[in-house]
Chain A
Amino acid sequence: MNPLPIPAADPMPLPAPVWLLKSLLLLTFFLHVLFMSGMLGGAVVAVTSAIRGETDKKFAMLARRVVGILPVLMASTITLGVAALLFVQVLYGQMLYASSILMGVAWFALIPIVIVGYYGFYWASNKSSLRGLGLGVLLVFVVGLIFTNNMTLMLAPERWRAMYSAGAAGLHLNFDELSLVPRYLHMMLGSVAMGGLLVVILGLREKKIEVRAWLLRQGSLWFVVATAANIVVGFWFLMTLRSEVRDLFMGRSKVATALMIAGMLLPIGAIVHLVLGLSGKKADRQAMAGIGAAVLTVALMVGMRDIVRTGYLNPVFRAGEMAVSSQWGVIGLFFLLFVGGLVTLGWMVRKVAAASQQKA
């Protein structure tokens, strides 16, 4: 009997080289995280603003604006998440299906939870319901927790057999994993920071100088506080990683270490830019630089996350060792249609932007 119950590789070869699938996985996941964090963080900002807005009109205005874009952010999050889920399945299906089944109830529950949370945001957006907003935020936090559970459980095949023997009804979660809580908090705090950036972006688009300055200040404040806290949580996360993976970031791997250093410096840079933007001149440029640094940080984090995944799986499973038989014709067709889709999307968005400007 196999000591670790790792499913055998699918007899069908991978239909594309690993680098291509991996690139698309990382790209779509990066975009997914951008929208997800904007949505989740934006919703957190909106809830607190809506509560403060009962006595302060400015906060009510802020809440209204953020809530208005939550449904679109949610739609983008899901759409991009679907792509990432597709590519993670083709590369890591063996691990992911097994861990999903062990926590089948929670994994299945994603479907109703996302639907209700999504409608909560629509409810909040169409009827300015605080209850709908609160429900949406709460459920999105639960969705994140379920994902963190599965994304760590798929890396821990050494726990699988004991879990399955203890019960096969799919009621497990992965709270035995030391890195689970800091990993989850790291993601969630990062999202709150990105919610702050969303407010900064709203500020940059605002024409009334006074409102604009207030929005920039509010957004920057959220970003700075959340990011400062997140640097601490990030260290906690690093300390809870399995030692051979942690070592990669502390010198053993040059790439991982460079990412680690850049990943610490960039958010500090973003904080500096945003704070300078509040106090000094060229507020716009500073804010833009801050946003750029933050977005780049997210990209680095996505890369580091992949190093963690590969490092954890390395002793038991390597995507690079799977057989490959590329379907180049279909791949070409996909890229052709993908470009066509982007052009169509761009055309539609431009039309709407132009028309709204004309109206205004």
Chain B
Amino acid sequence: MNYPVWQLGIPGGLLIAFIAVIHVFVSHFAVGGGAYLVLTERKAYRENDAALLSYVREHSKFFALLTVVFGAVTGVGIWITIGLVSPEATSSLIHTFVWGWAIEWVFFFVEIAAILIYAYNWDTLDKATHLKIGWIYFVAAWMSLAIINGILTYMLTPGTWLETKQFWDGFFNPTYWPSLVLRTLFAMALAGVFGLFTATDLDGAVREKTVRWAGRWLLIGMVLTPLAGIWYAAKLPAFAKQYFLELTSPQHTVRMVLACTTVAAVLALLAMIRPQWWRRPVLTLALLASFAALAGGEYLREFSRKPFAIANYIYANDVRVASVNEIADSGGMLKHAKWLREANGSLVDYGHQVYAMQCSNCHSISGYRALRTRVRGWDPQFAAAIVPSLHLTRGPMPEFAGDKQDAAALGTYLATLAPMTITIQSGNEAESGQEVFEMRCAMCHSIHGRMRPLSLAGGDVDAIVTMTNMLPDVNPQMPPFTGNDSERHALAVWLSAQK
């Protein structure tokens, strides 16, 4: 409401996810890979293995080039992107945690300096100093993870911060420790994957040795990560746990993540037992599996937080939870939305602006989380009535922040997206009744299952028809039934026939 909305045509949340996932992939490698570098270097000294040492030298240059440029710049890129997509939430995070970020920045500059010195001074520094600088790098890199982890987990589980507004209450929040352990373990797995990446094309005996060694990192990381995941899941807020019980999308993602973790672990085992089989196709599969596991994990974390950007404080559409009632009760968006364009008299245009401000961070019109499929058949009256109850529908939705006029405008706009009329076939009322149900009831109700089941099986058709005439009286949050009489009848016939 405070800021303009960047209307690019794709949901901003998707843009953040895109930048964030590639950053997280590289930055976790940057953490785990630090330990991998020094421990491999130490191993090479202890075993007096020149070939292994030469491998870790080359690996360190690849490491620096990838993490210092791509890792660091995409990290800043997340900042830039969240500022563009969720300025209200970003501003709140910055006001709350600017000193957390400042501390992270200290570790960041130590980290950058250390890795550049480490990677480019193999010949100048003595072994002990070189190893020390490697350790400095690793500690600084891990610490920057430990700091940003506090801010990131706060967004999902702000804990007692919501009452106290104290820095450390938000920082050491309920998911801080499980998330830190989870990320550290995954960082270890990624160190293994990237170790395998540079080891695959080696020649001679060092190849098998390095593949075995890196494989061990991948295996340990991939086996332990799911255990930390269980700990993390146990600390999720109740509303998030509910999603995993009710919604198919997180359920499928959990399965996908577990499958990918298993694939990566099995490949790691292969690397250790049969290093000679480790070739580029296997490497590619391991990289893809790790990336998919990470992307899935990040998706689950983001999904768990819906409908919030900061749980119970700011919604994902950048509206503050505390301001919803004020906006609804005193003047609506006309008064509160600073960036409303001059109304040109068209309700649809006004409704489109409401869509941009309250829906477009998560929903596109026809692409990602498309509205067109979600509002199929909605008419203006029905849409205007259901908009204020959207947070009660299936899936995680924020409360609508607007008054009746705003809801009417949004409803009018939504009704233009996918208008549809159902033609009732006289011989086949039951089938048409199902269509009516899908269009007019299914966003809130199911027949069986958890979502407000309608058990009207065997009910009197005429009684059901009568009931459709008084839905808002049954429950003021229900929209009126806006279909015609033959639709009513078909729906009643179908509902009555369900078992």
Interface check A26, CB cutoff 8 A: no
A sample of 5 inter-chain contacts (CB < 8 A) reads: A1-B340, A89-B90, A110-B80, A115-B73, A115-B74
B interface residues (Cβ-Cβ under 8 A, vs A): 2-9, 15, 19, 65, 68-70, 72-74, 76-77, 79-81, 83-84, 87, 90-92, 94-96, 98-103, 105-110, 112-114, 116-117, 121, 123-126, 129, 133, 136, 140, 165, 167-168, 320, 334, 338-342, 356
Q: Kindly state the separation between the CA atoms of A241 and B91 in the bound complex, as whole angstroms.
A: 29
Known A16-B99, A348-B136; judge A93-B7 contact (CB<8 A).
no
Would B99 and A15 count as touching, CB distance under 8 A?
yes
Q: Which of B72, B92, B105, B133 contacts A351 (CB 8 A)?
A: B133
Bound-state Cα–Cα, A115 to B71, Å:
10
Establish whether residues B108 and A82, one from each chain, have CB atoms under 8 Å apart when the complex forms.
yes
Q: Does A251 lie at the interface of the complex (its beta carbon under 8 Å from any beta carbon of B)? A: no
User: Is A169 within 8 A of B106, CB to CB?
Assistant: no
| Contact assessment for B109 and A14 in the assembled complex, using a CB-CB cutoff below 8 Å | no
Query: Which residue of B has the minimal Cβ distance to A122?
Result: B65
Q: How far is the CA of A337 from the CA of B91 in the complex (A)?
A: 25
Q: Does B90 lie within 8 Å of A93, measured CB to CB? A: yes
In the assembled complex, the CB of B2 is this many whole angstroms from the nearest CB of chain A, namely 4
* Closest Cβ–Cβ distance, residue B27 to chain A (whole Å): 14
Question: Number of contacts between A and B (CB, 8 Å)?
Answer: 202
**Interface size class of chain A, counting residues whose CB lies under 8 Å from the partner chain:** 35 or more
Is A94 an interface residue when CB atoms closer than 8 A count as contact? yes
Chain A residues 308-360 with CB under 8 Å of chain B are 327, 329-331, 333-334, 337-338, 340-341, 344-345, 348-349, 351-352, 355-356, 359
- State A78–B73 Cα separation when bound (angstroms): 8
B341:A337 contact, CB within 8 angstroms: no
Cβ contact within 8 Å between A83 and B68: no
Q: Which B residues are in CB contact (< 8 Å) with A82?
A: 76, 105, 108
Interface check A164, CB cutoff 8 A: yes
Q: CB distance A118 to B94 under 8 Å?
A: no
Known interface pairs A101-B3, A101-B84; A93-B110 also in contact (CB < 8 Å): no
Select A168's contact among B65, B79, B110, B356, beta carbons within 8 Å: B356
Docked-complex contact A94 and B91, CB < 8 angstroms: yes
Decide if A17 is an interface residue (CB 8 Å cutoff). no
Tell me whether A83 and B102 are in contact in the complex, defined as CB-CB below 8 angstroms, given that A165-B341, A341-B109, A352-B117 are known contacts.
yes
CB-defined contacts of B65 to chain A, threshold 8 Å: 122
Tell me which of B6, B68, B84, B125 contacts A352 (CB under 8 A): B125
Asked whether, in the complex, the Cβ of A344 is within 8 Å of the Cβ of B99, the reply is no
Most buried by A among B8, B73, B101: B73
Stretch at the interface among A5-13, A57-65, A214-222: A5-13
> Are B95 and A72 within 8 A (Cβ)?
no
Known: A169-B9, A348-B133. A78 touches B342 (CB 8 A): no
The minimal Cβ–Cβ distance linking B203 to chain A, given in whole angstroms, is 23
| B99-A119 in contact (CB<8A) | no
Q: Which of A64-117 contact B (CB under 8 A)?
A: 71-72, 75, 78-79, 81-83, 85-87, 89-90, 93-94, 96-98, 100-102, 104-105, 107-108, 110-111, 114-115
Chain B nearest Cβ from A351, distance in angstroms: 5
Give CA–CA (A66, B197) in the complex, Å.
32
The answer to whether A14 and B95 touch (CB under 8 A), given A334-B102, A351-B133, is yes
